[in-house]
Structure 1
């Protein structure tokens, strides 16, 4: 093995490079999640893979840039998970519920929780990475706001768009805030999948009621 990838004569070199890239990200993700940022070294990652540190540094010039790539991979997976399926726009509330359910599931994945934990523990050092994450998931928030605006049926004005943005943040936090806080605190929020489903449905009922109230009260004056 050389640089963690077995090369064969008939295999294009770019495929071997892509395989190594995937291995580096997967190994780095596991290392960061187990030992945290400070406790992880590029040397350890290279040793696990079976390549040289130089091989990793040619791809990622620093440990911070390698961690940035790990966060980007988390974002890519989130965007993939929350893609709206064809036809799901027929009922905006169903689409919102589906997105929130999948978002909650994603947040409870250990890799996601540990990524958040690392970013929170040293927010100043990782400010630019946090901004990258925010930009990556912004289209998902925009989609949620668009669906919510469709449900509310308010005129499209700057004031109403601002109110929809506040509602979207509040409603999303209702479903995800407590479970994520529990995970970040080292506690398991749900003992069983049934408990998670019960929490989600209870939260959704509150959310749905709040939306109905806002539809009845109309846009902000």
Structure 2
């Protein structure tokens, strides 16, 4: 996903652009996938810059270079398009986090710390802040985007698993795993995200992000779990 900025039609796209065809004359699977990526990227830019209400399906079609009917064949409404966008974004985040964890340390507590720090960096990307702001606004309106329950959230599941593994290794005290994971997520990631969604601007400085995370992680170990405060 691109960071928000001035929204312009993608280079080389337009209603007359040539799409790869299969032998039967229909667009190939690769071309269909590329078009769908272009639709979602264009929608992400528009939603991030303009918000949900000001963005229209016609604008998405214009920016991505596809016909409006093409957009509606894939997404029956603007809400459906936004939901698909957020689901795709979450899948990208999970893939990025999993790749980082695969290359990371084996120690469970270090893995938990690495996961929390990586998620903070991802959440504080400008487009992520903007789209979460839009999602929050839609979640409180009729017909808006409904948030995933904590117990079903795939990021929360990974947090809880890492906490459980750290507990099993004796690095953290035993306790309600999901509750502990929720508190860690809020302290290290959600609180800064909310701050930026409100326009405070405090965490735009990478040094401030690192300072805040180090403090939050230390307090998590010392206060919430009594784990000795060793970073």
Higher mean displacement: 170-179 or 91-100: 170-179
Q: 1:81-104 CA distances to partner (integer Å, 9 max, x unpaired)?
A: 221634746211110011001110
Answer whether contact 1:4 1:49 (CA < 8 A) is retained: no
Secondary structure at 1:7 match in 2: coil
Q: Structure 1's 132 and 76: CA in aligned 2 closer, same or farther, altered over 3 A?
A: farther
Q: Normalization by structure 2: what TM-score?
A: 0.78
Partners of 2:58 and 2:79 in 1: CA distance: 14
Partner of 1:104: 120
Confirm whether residue 14 of structure 1 aligns to residue 29 of structure 2.
yes
Distance, in Å, in 1 between the alignment partners of 2:136 and 2:108 is: 33
TM-score by length of 1: 0.81
Deviation for aligned residue 1:37: 0.7
Is the 1:82–1:140 Cα contact (8 Å) retained in structure 2? no
- 195-204 or 55-64, which moves further after superposition? 195-204
- What is the match of residue 71 of structure 1? 86
1:171 Cα deviation (Å)?
A: 1.6
Aligned to 1:122: 138
Query: CA RMSD, aligned part only?
Result: 2.9
Report the number of matched residues: 208
Residue 66 (structure 2) aligns with: 51
Q: Distance in 2 between matches of 1:110 and 1:191?
A: 9
Once the two structures are superposed, the pairs formed by residues 1-221 of structure 1 within 5 Å of their partners are 3=15, 5-7=17-19, 13-83=28-98, 85-86=101-102, 88=104, 90-123=106-139, 124-125=141-142, 129-131=146-148, 135=152, 138-153=153-168, 163-210=176-223, 213=226
Kindly indicate whether the alpha-carbon contact (under 8 Å) linking 2:150 and 2:156 is maintained by their aligned counterparts in 1.
no
Asked if 2 retains the 8 angstrom alpha-carbon contact of 1:29 and 1:70, the reply is yes
CA distance in 2, matches of 1:191, 1:110: 9
Could you list the per-position Cα deviations for residues 130-182 of structure 1 after superposition, in whole angstroms to 9, with x for gaps in the alignment? Answer: 238984xx233223222222323499xxxx66x22111111221112331121
1:74 shift after superposition: 1.4
Alpha-carbon separation, structure 1, partners of 2:111 and 2:149: 26
- Name the one with the larger helix percent: 1
| Equivalent pair of 2:120/2:189 in contact (CA under 8 Å) | yes
Structure 1 stretches of 5 or more lacking a match? 216-221
Please give the alpha-carbon distance, in whole angstroms, between the structure 2 residues aligned to 1:43 and 1:82. 34
Change (3 A) 1:132 1:14: farther
Unaligned 5+ segments in structure 2 are 1-12
Higher deviation after alignment, 196-205 or 3-12:
3-12
